[in-house]
């Protein structure tokens, strides 16, 4: 069994991998705003998992 924070981190990998595959393999245009949103989502999940571990 794994904790909820670990599940959140693992769940965030799927959209990120789909984004990277679509950008590099399918040549989908991904602008600054989309990358900024991706970074915000990943950093929020990371911060929440760090705070819960303390």
Confidence of residue 54 (pLDDT cuts 50, 70, 90): low
Task: Express each pLDDT in 35-52 by its tens digit.
Answer: 898 888 888 877 877 876
Task: Express each pLDDT in 7-18 by its tens digit.
Answer: 877 777 788 888
Dist. CA 26–CA 24, nearest whole Å: 6
- What was the pLDDT predicted at 36? 92
Would you say the pTM of this structure is higher than 0.85?
no
Task: Tell me which residue of 39, 37, 52 sits closest to 7, measured CA to CA.
Answer: 52
């Amino acid at each position: 069994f794994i904790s909820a924070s670990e599940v959140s981190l693992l769940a965030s990998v799927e959209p990120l991998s789909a984004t990277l595959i679509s950008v590099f393999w399918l040549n989908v245009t991904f602008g600054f705003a989309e990358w900024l949103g991706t970074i915000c989502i990943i950093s929020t999940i990371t911060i929440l998992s760090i705070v819960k571990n303390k």
